[in-house]
A and B are shown apart, each in its own frame.
Chain A
Amino acid sequence: MKKTGAQILCESLIKEGVEVIFGILGGAVLPIYDAFPQYPKLRHILVRHEQGAAHAADGYARVTHKAGVCIATSGPGATNLVTGIANAYMDSVPMIAITGQVARPVIGKDAFQETDITGITLPITKHNYLVNDVAELAETIKEAFHIAQTGRPGPVLIDIPRDVQQEQGDFVYPDKLDLPGYRIPSRGHPAQIKKAAKLINEAAQPVIIAGRGIIISQAYDEFKEFAEKAQIPVAHTLLGLGSFPGNHILDLGMLGMHGAPCANMAVQNADLLIAIGMRFDDRATGNTREFAPNARIIHIDIDPAEIGKNIPTDVPVVGDVKSVLTALNAQIERGEHVDWLSKIEQWRYEHPSLEIRQSDELLPQYIIHQICEATNGDAFVVTGVGQNQMWAARYFVYTNPNSLISAGGLGPMGFELPAAIGVKIGRPGEVVWCVAGDGGFQMTIQELATITQENIAVKIAILDNGYLGMVRQWQELFYERRYVATKLWNPDFVKIAEAYDIPGLRVTRREEVIPAIQKAMEYPGPFLIDFLIEPEENIYPIVPPGESLARFYEPSKPEVSGGQILSTKHEMLNNIKTQNSNDQKMRVLNLEI
């Protein structure tokens, strides 16, 4: 029996196990939407902006390890997806973006709502398609899912002209694919694994840098076995948090620009780095020329193009993290690095970066800590981008696998709310906390309507400082406190929530934090808390951009001695901070070896 292109699309999605589609309809996808009622297995979530559809599909994909599907109409619908697609590309998230296109006869004629979306998304998709014939549709969808979900995952866009959606064709879902140019590295090369094992067995001061590849590969058990057997401390990239229990004795927390001092110092003093499923992003490495100066580097990654891209590697192992670690675990010896681990413990003690100062102010660190306490770490934390993201990354202890959902590479503010929707839909039985800044929250605030319409029980914590906080912090530290365009006039977020039929609370004092979080947790549906935090609170430590990881600012701790003041520029920063009268005299350390 003949089917329309729209029906073939729906049938194919069901064959791929798709259950949820996030999207907004429009003229060029009307035939697809018209077919949806025939396929009740496909749940459609109507968002309020296409960026929300892409971020929701992204959040869904990160927690289900299946491709998230989003759909938009041609032209503006398609271009609104772009931020979300770029984000999925940077963070290796499997995604299928379906866009309607104008009918074939008018393609290239600048028709109403025509945009060359395959051209636009060429550099931000793993692959994309313009389907010119209904006979190619099923095969294209099968290829797209295969490409999106295998190897290093990523977004694939399928652009379907409206008349192809209406055209009749036979539905045969292919068994096999013909992709001569697509190869997936699976197992690492045995000789490379042997070399890596030798270096690991010989190292005196090894450090692991754990990236999101471990989570994508779901290699939690293999990775834990690896670290424990070899007794190697674990530093994380932002997206590597949740790959190893945050409360483990070997866990150092996050490295990089706002990383834990002990993690950064361990990396800078290591004689061996084992980088697993990560790509040496500049926020993680600091100045690459001064990065880990004494370390040999083993780099395990599934993408061969990541090897040597940013940092020269001594032993590359190209393969799936899970299979490489399984092979390595058989070859490494039980390690003991007592001196090294105690040196790191000393650094941890000297730089207690997670200590929250005693203060009557409402501190964001305290709020995140209390969310962690209230949930016992048993929650998904979905963050925005900026200070809120860094506080959430540092002050929540990620004990559950894959429990931090954050936009790392692209850093799109406004990710948090739609992504939290996707996470909750993907894992409805779990507690989901959306940690937002007041700036980013207003970039996708309209998705509150989606939350109410679909009754999605996410808990929203706005760390509301009335600033675009991270940029304000940079203006304070690197632009002599000239605040330009960072002060925000904000609406009353609790009233906004109320208007969307979501209960909310405003918290202005420290003692209100725990009861508010309790109330949000006890409420069966979505709940919003607007925390009016200390406006000029900074996230520390910070490695200034372009500096080595060994140079960072941290708030002073009078009881700690040692360290050395940096250049005059930094002394100036010290003075600025002192004048700032909020009891945060800066101590700038030069911890280089």
Chain B
Amino acid sequence: MGDKLANTKHTLVALVEDKPGVLNRIASLFRRRNFNIQSLAVGSSEHPGLSRMTIVVGGDIAQVEQVRKQLEKLINVVKVTDITEEDMVSRELALIKVKATTTTRSEIMQIVGIFRANIVDVGPNSLTVEVTGDEDKVNSLLGLLHDFGVKELSRTGRIALTRGSNPF
């Protein structure tokens, strides 16, 4: 096993049957095999009856390959691919409710503009910011907004697709 990608985050994309209990089967497998899920996002895919799941797991190549093969053994899981080394697009979405006073509001809006994020709600003492992007972008914006006081934060997990005409 090479050192390459040792103990790094891997992005797995899974096509799974849209049946009751599938998410439970996958979560149960991770728990039972002592695999560490960092994030998991699921929604419908282009195929009727199939959902696409993006799972971020930590570990070396051998561990992640074991995760992938164990996932593929589940009857309701159609295909799992580790796309970490593929050319891919990955996005996260975050909603950040940040404290805003009359003096800080314009500064916050400026930062939001630089990140091409949106203000989706304005309250008397707060602004709610919606940002999409890769994890680093979301983290960077969050870091900048932190000083103003983040009141609430909600983040999705990563979703990902390979670029171009690759089927995954």
By a beta-carbon cutoff of 8 Å, the part of chain A in contact with chain B is: 118-119, 122-123, 126-127, 130, 147, 179-182, 303-305, 307-309, 312
Within 8 A of A (CB), among B11-25: 16-17, 21, 24-25
* B45 CB to nearest chain A CB (Å): 13
Residue of A nearest to B76 (CB): A181
CB of B73 closer than 8 Å to a CB of A: yes
Known A-B contacts A181-B75, A308-B65; the reply to A123 vs B28 at CB < 8 A is yes
Query: What total of chain B residues lie within 8 Å of the partner, measured CB to CB?
Result: 23
CB-nearest residue of chain A to B50:
A180
Residue on A with the closest CB to B25?
Answer: A122
For chain B, residues 111 to 130, give those with C-beta under 8 angstroms from any C-beta of chain A: none
Residue contact A181 to B24, C-beta cutoff 8 Å: no
Q: Which chain A residues border B77 with CB–CB below 8 Å?
A: 181
> CB < 8 Å: which of B21, B50, B62, B66 contacts A118?
B21
B75 contacts A182, CB within 8 Å?
yes
Which residues of chain A are near B76, meaning CB under 8 Å?
181
- Report 22 cross-chain contacts, Cβ distance below 8 Å, ordered by A residue: A122-B24, A122-B25, A122-B28, A123-B29, A123-B32, A127-B75, A147-B75, A180-B17, A180-B50, A181-B16, A181-B72, A181-B74, A181-B77, A181-B79, A182-B75, A304-B69, A305-B70, A305-B72, A305-B73, A308-B62, A308-B65, A312-B62
**10 additional contacts (CB under 8 A) given A123-B29, A181-B74, A181-B78:** A123-B32, A147-B75, A181-B72, A181-B76, A303-B73, A304-B69, A304-B72, A305-B72, A305-B73, A308-B62
A312 touches B1 (CB 8 A): yes
Question: Once the chains bind, are B78 and A180 in contact (CB under 8 Å)?
Answer: yes
Question: Nearest chain-B residue to A181 (Cβ)?
Answer: B78
Residues of the A chain whose Cβ atoms lie less than 8 Å from the Cβ of B75: 126-127, 147, 179, 181-182
B6 to chain A, nearest CB (A): 15
Q: Which residues of B contact A181 (CB under 8 A)?
A: 16-17, 72, 74-79
Return B31 CB to nearest CB of chain A, in Å. 8
CA of A130 to CA of B20, assembled, Å: 10
CB–CB A119/B24 < 8 A: yes
* Alpha-carbon separation in the docked complex, A309 to B33 (Å): 11
Complex Cα gap A58–B74 (Å): 22
Q: Mark B39-52, 1 if CB is under 8 A from A, else 0.
A: 00000000000100
Name the A residues within 8 Å of B66 (CB-CB).
305, 308-309
Residues of chain A contacted by B70 (CB below 8 angstroms) = 305
What residues of chain B lie closer than 8 Å to A312, measured between beta carbons?
A: 1, 62
B73: chain A residues within 8 A (beta carbon): 303, 305
A305 near B69 with CB under 8 A, answer yes
Within 8 A of A (CB), among B76-97: 76-79
Measured CA separation A118–B21 after assembly (Å): 10
Task: Give the distance in Å from the alpha carbon of A414 to the alpha carbon of B113 in the complex.
Answer: 70
Give, as a whole number of angstroms, the nearest-CB distance from A280 to chain B. Answer: 13
Shortest A405–chain B CB gap in Å is 26
User: B82 to nearest A CB, angstroms?
Assistant: 14
Least CB distance, A60 to chain B, in whole angstroms = 24
- Distance A307 CA – B65 CA, assembled complex (angstroms): 10
Q: Least Cβ distance of B19 to chain A in Å? A: 10
A126 proximity list for chain B (CB < 8 A): 75
Q: How far is the CB of A282 from chain B (nearest CB, A)?
A: 15
**Separation of A147 and B70 alpha carbons in the complex (Å):** 16
Cβ contacts under 8 Å, B16 to chain A: 181
How far does the alpha carbon of A307 sit from the alpha carbon of B72 in the complex, in Å? 14
* Minimum Cβ distance to chain B for residue A279 (Å): 13
A123 contact set on B, CB distance < 8 A: 28-29, 32
Give Cα A126 to B73, complex, Å.
9
Chain B residue numbers with a CB within 8 Å of A118 are: 21
In Å, the complex CA distance between A235 and B29 comes to 32
How long is the Cα–Cα vector from A180 to B17 in the complex, in angstroms?
Answer: 8
CB-CB < 8 A to B79: which residues of A? 181
Q: Which residues of A contact B78 (CB under 8 A)?
A: 180-181
Residues of A with C-beta under 8 A to B29: 123
Q: A118 to B24: give the CA distance in the assembly, Å.
A: 11
Q: Output the least CB separation between A213 and chain B (Å).
A: 16
User: Nearest chain-A residue to B69 (Cβ)?
Assistant: A305
**Nearest chain B CB to A184 CB, angstrom units:** 11
Q: Separation in Å of the B40 CB from the closest CB of chain A?
A: 17
Distance from B73 Cβ to chain A, minimum over Cβ atoms (Å) = 6
Contacts of A119 in B (CB 8 A): 24
Q: Which residues of B contact A305 (CB under 8 A)?
A: 66, 69-70, 72-73
- Nearest CB of A to B123, in Å: 39
| A123-B21 Cα distance, complex, nearest whole Å | 13
CB distance from B94 to the nearest CB of A (A): 32
A302 to chain B, nearest CB (A): 11
Query: What is the bound-complex CA distance between A303 and B66, given in angstroms?
Result: 12
Minimum-distance CB pairs A-B, first 4 = A305-B69, A181-B78, A127-B75, A123-B32
Write the B58-73 contact mask toward A (1 if CB under 8 angstroms, else 0).
0000100110011011
Q: A305–B69 Cα gap in the complex (Å)?
A: 5
Residue of A nearest to B78 (CB): A181
- Complex CA–CA separation, A275 to B29 (angstroms): 26
Min C-beta distance of A450 to chain B, whole Å = 33
Whose C-beta in chain A lies nearest to the C-beta of B66?
A309
Taking CB as reference atom, which chain A residue is nearest B32? Answer: A123
Query: Which residues of chain B are within 8 angstroms of A309 by Cβ–Cβ distance?
Result: 66
Residue of B nearest to A306 (CB): B69
A94 to chain B, nearest CB (A): 15
CB distance from B157 to the nearest CB of A (A): 22
| Docked pose: A126 CA to B17 CA in angstroms | 16
Q: How far is the CB of A151 from chain B (nearest CB, A)?
A: 9
Residues of B within 8 A of A182 (CB): 75
